[in-house]
Amino acid sequence: MGGVPMKHHTKSKVGRRRSHLALKPSQIQACKNCGNPVLPHRYCPNCGMYDGKLIKEKKIKTKKSK
């Protein structure tokens, strides 16, 4: 059995259940070191700083010569 709802759900009941499903705007902040936009609680992809510490060094791409 399955697939058929047992009782009718009103529009208000469905709306109250779905009220938490709306997308929330992302909170973008400026990096304290370089000023680029960065998401909170993540290291800056531009300079690699997080909470005043260098977390990830920026990799410089070099071309391999044959």
pLDDT at 5: 75
pTM above 0.75, yes or no: no
Cα radius of gyration (the chain): 24
Task: Name the residue ranges covered by the structural domains of the chain.
Answer: 24-58
pLDDT at 2: 67
Rounded to whole angstroms, the Cα distance separating 48 from 58 reads 7
Quickly count helices (H) and strands (E) in the chain.
1, 4
pLDDT at 66: 64
pLDDT at 56: 82
Beta strand 37-38 with 29-30: parallel, antiparallel or unpaired? antiparallel
pLDDT at 18: 95
pLDDT at 55: 86
pLDDT along the chain (66 residues), means of 10: 80 95 92 93 91 82 70
